[in-house]
Amino acid sequence: MRNNAAWLGLSALVIFLDQLSKWWIEANLAHYGVIPVIPHFNIVHLRNTGAAFSMFNQAPSLAFIGLAAAVSAGILAWLRKHPRGETLTAIGLCLILGGAIGNVIDRVRLGHVTDFLDFYWGSWHFAAFNVADMAISVGAGFLILEMLLEWKRGGPRKEL
């Protein structure tokens, strides 16, 4: 294969792990249930109808599904057209793709996204999240890292 489409297996793995973990939560923990794991970390069962950190929770699911579809189409086009060798970018995009699809599956199937990882300090709780959210965040980190490395290598500069 001459393009980055070989990395799609990573997206499939993210989708599988995301859906498996959410299935386990839905099957074994009541809504708003909490399982203390270690200090500062719980497994919880929350339902998010919004975007990250429950932003835009009044927006229709169709808006999030459309956005994820557009992002996914862009990522697939990039993977198909670009030559292999852009490893950090390909990994980052495939992580984002897997995470986006994982959360879209929830929105289509359930009308919300299941979140279950809860980190806290005292009474302050970070927004609960899931495997798909982690993949999206780590994927974005890979893209930022690639941009920084390109800048440090003195990569191509474009005049504005």
127: left (phi over 0), alpha (psi -120 to 50) or beta: beta
The structure tokens listed for 93 are 């995009």
Identify whether 106 is a catalytic site residue. no
Active site residue 115: yes
Q: Which of 18, 106, 118, 133 is catalytic?
A: 133
In whole angstroms, give the CA distance from residue 50 to residue 57.
4
Please give the distance of CA 33 from its chain centroid, rounded to a whole number: 23
The whole-angstrom distance between residue 36's C-alpha and the CA centroid of its chain comes to: 24
Which residue among 18, 106, 115, 118 is the active-site one?
115
Q: Which residues are identified as catalytic?
A: 115, 133
